[in-house]
């Protein structure tokens, strides 16, 4: 989740899941958990809805984050509490 947040913050523009997946591999290597880009859509359920925007274009869904929010403040409370422990 933190790596996805980092990729979107560094992009400073909306990215499709395919582009997010590409940048994750480029910056963090080929992790077995990142084999499928299909699961990346589900990652956004861990974030508060007000910290990201989902833009549906004609063919793709693109995601964009609020740039001035740190990762720990972007997570929903129930997920943050697990990470903090």
| DSSP-assigned letters across all residues of the chain | -HHHHHHHHHH-S-EEHHHHHHHHHHHH---GGGS-STTHHHHGGGB-GGGEEEEE-SS-EEEEE-TTS-HHHHB-HHHHHHHH-
What fold is seen in the domain 2-84?
Answer: Arc Repressor Mutant, subunit A (1.10.10)
Does the pLDDT at position 29 exceed 70?
A: yes
> How does pLDDT run across 43-77, given as a tens digit for each residue?
889 999 999 999 887 788 899 999 888 888 999 98
Q: What percent of the chain has pLDDT over 70?
A: 91
pLDDT at 5: 92
- Where are the domains positioned within the chain? 2-84
Per-residue model confidence (pLDDT) at position 80 = 82
């Amino acid at each position: 989740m933190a790596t996805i947040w980092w990729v979107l913050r560094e992009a400073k523009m909306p990215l499709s899941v395919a582009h997010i997946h590409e940048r994750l591999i480029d910056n963090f290597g080929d992790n077995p958990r990142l084999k499928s880009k299909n699961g990346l859509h589900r990652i956004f359920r861990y974030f508060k809805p007000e910290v990201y925007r989902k833009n549906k274009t004609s063919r793709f869904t693109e995601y964009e984050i609020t740039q001035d929010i740190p990762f720990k403040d972007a997570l929903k409370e129930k997920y943050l509490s697990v990470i903090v422990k």
